[in-house]
Amino acid sequence: MRTDLRQTLERLAALEASVDAPYLTATVSWAHVYEQPGRRPGPDEFSQAAGRLVDGPKGRGEATTSLQADIDRIMAYLESDVPDEAQGVVFVACHANGVFEAIPLGVEVATSVAVGPTPVLTELARTMEEHATYAVLQVDQREAKLAFITQGRRRREVDMRGKHTTTAEGEGGWSTSRNQDRAEEQVDQFFSAVAEHVEQALRSRRDVLLILAGEDRATHALRNALHQSIQDRVIGTLNLEMRSSAQEVVDASQPMMDAAEREREMRAVTDARDNAGSGGAGATGPEDTLTALQTGQVLTLVMNDDFEADGWADFTMPAFGLGEMPDSHPLAGDMANLTAVQLSAEMVRLAIQSDAEIEIVQTDVPVSMDEQMDIPEAGAERPRSEAAMALDEFGGVAAVLRFGLDANQSTANM
């Protein structure tokens, strides 16, 4: 499974634009049909969608040859090379330029295809921040397990055990009859040792959040033993037994991480909104956000997952603009170099190139099975999240900036 998504995104965002033989970006669901474990509709859905691309009005010449080769290679990969634990695969391919990337993921993606002069990296960026690695520390008075979880899978686990004393009967365990003080001292020493190990494990993983799991007494004592910098990363506690399975740990902790992600999205939208304006460290709306992206000012790009906008680009400069293709080149360049682009994809790519953080805001509020029964009819509009509605006021996109936009700074459309 591919877990180094930041490095993958940086490599793909650095690929040279290819207008004559565009990139094919595909996301393919690898999930089984419910109650039909042998059936995966994703490959068939991809084949049908890709076929429409080849048979479309642009289906001729070098671009078609390259695209058909990409489709054939993706189908071959789907037939034999997808890892068993994958739930989805993202592909970026351009046969004409010798590019083929297959990125298996541990989370499901909807099947889609897109062609363009650059890869469409929005789904990968969403997966990276929506399913970022987090840690769960299970603990009692004699044992601790630190697990790192990425894309719904436990990737690494470290066991820590305390020392045992001996009772009068010779049974292993914490001494509670003859040497209560000694036993309590050993517990305290164990918690201190666990805290030190956790601090070492998280020191180089500055973005990893931590969840404590166990009985209240143990989690409270361990939390107090942690350094303040690690305490600040603790987002909550769970009542889990040490013998809980890996899947039980994931299932119990994921809702807490989802809630933390929704809070982070709302904070990003609020920061962009509250700091927007001349000289402020925020930008709202497609035009100002695109301007800030082109000048490397963006610290965090905030975008609704359904944001769409037309745009144009001259990759030889490079320069980007909002709206339909202009009648004349805004920078007095060669009109032949202008090409239509998917603006959301270019915004994400520019954010990756400038090492900005990306928050893809989940627009749909999760709906339970019982709540789905109350939806009046199929296709009824689902409720939008608070962060998405706040971002809707600015056209669905905004940014937190490293430094503010100048009052006289040129806009994206010059």
One-letter amino acid for residue 380 of the chain? A
Predicted confidence at residue 403, as pLDDT, reads: 84
Helix, strand, coil share (%) of the chain residues, nearest 5 = 40, 25, 35
Residue keyed to tokens 């929506």: 130
Predicted confidence at residue 2, as pLDDT, reads: 78
Whole-number Å distance between alpha carbons of 152 and 135: 12
Predicted confidence at residue 375, as pLDDT, reads: 53
231 token code pair: 């305490």
Residues 6+ apart with CB under 8 A from 33: 39, 40, 41
* Residue of 262, 259, 279 lying closest to 390 (CA atoms): 262
The answer to whether 387 touches 269, Cβ cutoff 8 Å, is yes
Predicted confidence at residue 87, as pLDDT, reads: 93
pTM: 0.86
The answer to whether 77 touches 57, Cβ cutoff 8 Å, is no
Predicted confidence at residue 277, as pLDDT, reads: 83
Q: Which domains does the chain have, with CATH numbers?
A: 1-130 (3.30.960.10), 134-244 (3.30.420.60), 262-414 (3.30.1330.30)
The answer to whether 402 touches 298, Cβ cutoff 8 Å, is yes
Phi, psi of 139 (to 5 degrees): -150, 145
Residue keyed to tokens 């055990």: 161
Low-confidence ranges of the chain (pLDDT < 50): 59, 164-178, 369
